[in-house]
Chain A
């Protein structure tokens, strides 16, 4: 006789059902992402993400105010260095707004990659003690940056009022642009997370990669300062199109649709490649971490 199931089992989640059969076999190279399993663990994703957010500002005097101070401070420093000292052109917009509209997605992106890259190694005890889809770890570390992103978006919207840069319908484009940035961050972050498990060298390398990437992206400078015949080179970097897209969204400029479509395609490719590699090697994590 089968053991009776008491009413307390969550219903509607066939993944956890009594009839569910788990087959464990040696890993066989590339495999497809198990969306069903990932979905069954969605609450873990939520819990880990909120844990990171909750813990981030615990036992700090200023608490969540840091989420406001940090981006503001970075913006002020960059404005002084690049705007006042280096006289970086800003296409006629106030430099702080010009800078901040790009710094906003970039800060999220760089923090997401840096924390995702370290996430699996940082969760070594978890990885060697319990099973769950490992992909949850880098995804949650990217996700926990979203709160800070919302805070800095609010700051930008207020700054736009202050500098009398009008809000336009272009703002709506920020949402799909952000989704693309998240996809690149997830793809690149999971890739780095997986590589860092085997080669800790990447713990040291990742900050450099992120830093160099920033200067290869028109964050502190406008794309127009790059000679036209070299611009395609910058467009190989998917963040170029997206950052320019953010500027158009916030400053109300026309969008470069060709550049954007390239960036979106590259974003999807990077996401797929990163996740595929992660899935290929994740079953070895517990043995080598």
Chain B
């Protein structure tokens, strides 16, 4: 008889989403709001929130994960993946339903949580280990292994605020991945570090899975899901759409995901242009087809779709690319500043092939209309480049980005 490491029954999660703040146009409004706002707020705390202010992030999820199984969870942004992980890790509680888990549970939700910049690498290993529920003795036993894995031997007594971002994430991942657990919950962490470290991380996850641990793996890295997982579930708007074989699940996901284009996470925008310019979707095309996983060697067309709520005589729109938190470059849709008409718009840029490296890039979108009138959203979407290297060795696709170049080798 196989025992289940995780059993979820009728899982629901409801979030109360606040209403947007009222606008205050006059001084009088502001002053009266001092009196009315607290009263309204008290009222909303006392009474039940209206139906429209609530949102079901998970609806009746039901699934089981057998001991030793590696389950991949896929779904678009907002499908409920993160909520599910947060409930499984007990960060937040479900509204209804029940989960039973057997054994020691560890999570790699966001690496480096609780790292303190002033403390040394050594001190942070113990701090981070303790936060994740490791005993000091356990950390001590694995200390050398962790340091070696992170490749930070020389800097182990340097405060981590002096670390490069690469060293930082390597150390963080190293601590997290050396936690001995029966059930491992993993979210996206493989998207850290350079290509070489990502491969190392993925193979480490593979080791964990082979050692008979139960793993629940949430990722946008479809290649990693394909390689690591034995089963997949697809979430869509908080519901379980599919539960079964990985290949089938990925096919379904790619079909449902590709249709309307990748959504932009609009909550991440800040700035004074918010509400006057909306940026809603980022579509990636290669050879005219919408793709979710991009071939790094092929020309890529990025299409930003949105709506302008007014006419801007001058508006500069840019797409910026980041890798591991490092800003790489920005692209503009127009060579000079140009007007933005009212209504829906499509802004398009084309990037030649063999510029991006395999793995994930984060996308930021910004707009400037005039001094003081701007918006910027970091990490509003992500681009996933497939691991196909066109026959090249792994060492040949390192670095943040490729530089177009020529080369030759002649007899000297």
Asked whether A3 and B68 contact (CB < 8 A) given A9-B180, A58-B118, the answer is: yes
Interface set, chain B 130-154, CB cutoff 8 A to A: 130-133, 135-138, 141-142
A70 on interface, CB distance cutoff 8 Å = no
B100 on interface, CB distance cutoff 8 Å = yes
A84 on interface, CB distance cutoff 8 Å = no
B101 on interface, CB distance cutoff 8 Å = yes
Asked whether A283 and B131 contact (CB < 8 A) given A3-B68, A8-B141, A54-B123, the answer is: no
Q: How far is the CB of A26 from chain B (nearest CB, A)?
A: 6
A27 touches B93 (CB 8 A): yes
Hey, what's the 0/1 contact readout for B178-199 against A, CB within 8 Å counting as 1? 0010100000000000000000
**Among A19, A41, A47: residue with most chain B CB under 10 A:** A47
Q: How far is the CB of B252 from chain A (nearest CB, A)?
A: 28
B126 touches A47 (CB 8 A): yes
Interface set, chain A 33-79, CB cutoff 8 A to B: 40-41, 43-44, 46-48, 51, 54-55, 58-59
| Chain B: interface residue total (CB-CB under 8 A) | 50
Q: How far, in whole Å, are A16 and B80 apart by their CA atoms in the complex?
A: 28
B99 touches A13 (CB 8 A): no
The interface residues of chain B lying within 8 Å CB-to-CB of A24 are 87-88, 90, 93-94, 98-101
Asked whether A16 and B90 contact (CB < 8 A) given A2-B67, A3-B212, A130-B113, the answer is: no
Q: How far, in whole Å, are A289 and B131 apart by their CA atoms in the complex?
A: 19
Interface set, chain B 96-132, CB cutoff 8 A to A: 96-105, 107, 109-110, 113-114, 116, 118-119, 123, 126-127, 130-132
Interface set, chain A 108-157, CB cutoff 8 A to B: 125-132
Question: Which of A10, A55, A58, A287 contacts B135 (CB under 8 A)?
Answer: A10
B15 on interface, CB distance cutoff 8 Å = yes
Q: How far, in whole Å, are A287 and B49 apart by their CA atoms in the complex?
A: 15
Other contacts beyond A18-B103, A130-B109: 14, CB < 8 A: A4-B212, A20-B102, A21-B101, A22-B105, A26-B93, A26-B94, A43-B130, A46-B130, A59-B118, A125-B113, A128-B91, A129-B109, A131-B90, A131-B91
The 4 closest A-B pairs by CB, nearest first: A3-B212, A47-B130, A131-B90, A24-B99
Q: Can you list 26 A-B pairs, Cβ within 8 angstroms, ordered by A?
A: A3-B212, A8-B141, A16-B104, A16-B133, A20-B103, A21-B102, A22-B100, A23-B100, A24-B93, A25-B94, A25-B98, A26-B97, A40-B133, A41-B133, A43-B135, A44-B130, A47-B126, A48-B130, A54-B119, A55-B116, A127-B91, A129-B110, A129-B113, A130-B109, A131-B107, A287-B92
